[in-house]
C-alpha cells in the first residue's frame, strides 16, 4: 500500500514510507548531528518505528554512541552515502528519527523547536521557536 509520506536517498536505491504526521520536529545543533550530516545542524522528526517501512533497497547501519551515552544506529545508503534515518535509539525506544531532507515532499513538516542551541555556530540566527540549550526534557 502506498504510504502517505515517502522518502529516498540521493540515488534512489533506498526508499521508505510512513503514514503518521510527525509531531516532534526539531532543528538540532549538537556536535553529533554536525558530524553525521556534515552541516551546521540537522532537522529531523520522530516517527513510531512500527509506522516506518523501508520499501526498497537496503540501508546500512552504523552503530554509534552519542554524547548522551545512548546508543543508536545511523542508517545511510551504501551506494550514495546519503543519511536517511536513525533507529534503535536507546534514548527513544520504539521511535525512528528521519532526516527531513530525505523526504520526497516535506510540505507541512517544519521544526517546532530548536535544541542543543549551545552548540549553534555563531553566524546562525535562532528561529522564532522554543530554544533549548540541551535536549528538551
Ligand atoms: Zn543512495
Ligand atoms: Zn543532534
79: left (phi over 0), alpha (psi -120 to 50) or beta: alpha
How far apart (Å, rounded) are the C-alpha atoms in residues 93 and 34?
Answer: 23
Domain containing 105: what range?
22-120
Contact 112, 26 (CB under 8 A): yes
List residues bridging with 62 in a β-sheet.
74
- Tell me the CA–centroid distance for residue 76 and ligand 1, in Å: 8
CATH number of the domain to which 100 belongs: 3.90.1590.10
- Tell me the CA–centroid distance for residue 59 and ligand 2, in Å: 20
How many domains does the chain fold into?
1
In a domain, 134, yes or no: no
Ligand nearest to the CA of 99: 2
In a domain, 90, yes or no: yes
- Tell me the CA–centroid distance for residue 65 and ligand 2, in Å: 12
Give the mean model confidence (pLDDT) for residues 21-32.
96
Ligand nearest to the CA of 79: 1
Ligand nearest to the CA of 72: 2
Each residue's pLDDT tens digit, 104-126: 999 999 999 999 999 999 999 99
Q: Which of 35, 34, 36, 62 is nearest to 121 (CA)?
A: 34
In a domain, 11, yes or no: no
pLDDT value at 129 more than 80: yes
In a domain, 3, yes or no: no
In a domain, 45, yes or no: yes
Ligand nearest to the CA of 56: 1
Q: Is the dihedral of CA 12, 86, 135, 113 positive or negative?
A: positive
Each residue's pLDDT tens digit, 45-103: 999 999 999 999 999 999 999 888 899 999 999 999 999 999 999 999 999 999 999 99
Residues present in the chain in total = 137
- Tell me the CA–centroid distance for residue 15 and ligand 1, in Å: 9
- Tell me the CA–centroid distance for residue 83 and ligand 1, in Å: 9
In a domain, 106, yes or no: yes
Give the mean model confidence (pLDDT) for residues 38-46.
96
- Tell me the CA–centroid distance for residue 134 and ligand 1, in Å: 32
- Tell me the CA–centroid distance for residue 83 and ligand 2, in Å: 13
Amino acid at each position: 500500500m502506498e504510504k502517505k509520506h515517502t522518502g529516498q536517498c540521493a540515488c534512489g536505491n533506498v526508499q521508505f514510507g510512513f503514514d503518521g504526521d510527525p509531531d516532534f520536529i526539531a532543528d538540532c545543533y549538537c556536535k553529533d548531528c554536525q558530524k553525521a550530516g556534515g552541516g551546521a545542524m540537522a532537522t529531523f522528526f520522530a516517527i513510531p518505528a512500527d509506522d516506518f517501512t523501508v520499501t526498497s533497497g537496503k540501508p546500512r547501519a552504523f552503530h554509534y554512541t552519542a554524547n548522551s551515552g545512548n546508543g543508536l544506529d545511523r542508517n545511510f545508503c551504501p551506494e550514495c552515502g546519503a543519511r536517511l534515518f536513525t533507529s534503535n535509539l536507546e534514548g527513544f525506544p520504539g521511535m525512528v528519527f528521519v532526516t527531513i531532507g530525505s523526504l520526497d515532499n516535506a510540505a507541512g513538516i517544519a521544526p517546532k523547536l530548536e535544541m542543543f542551541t549551545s552548540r549553534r555556530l555563531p553566524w546562525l540566527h535562532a528561529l522564532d521557536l522554543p530554544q533549548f540549550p540541551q535536549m528538551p526534557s
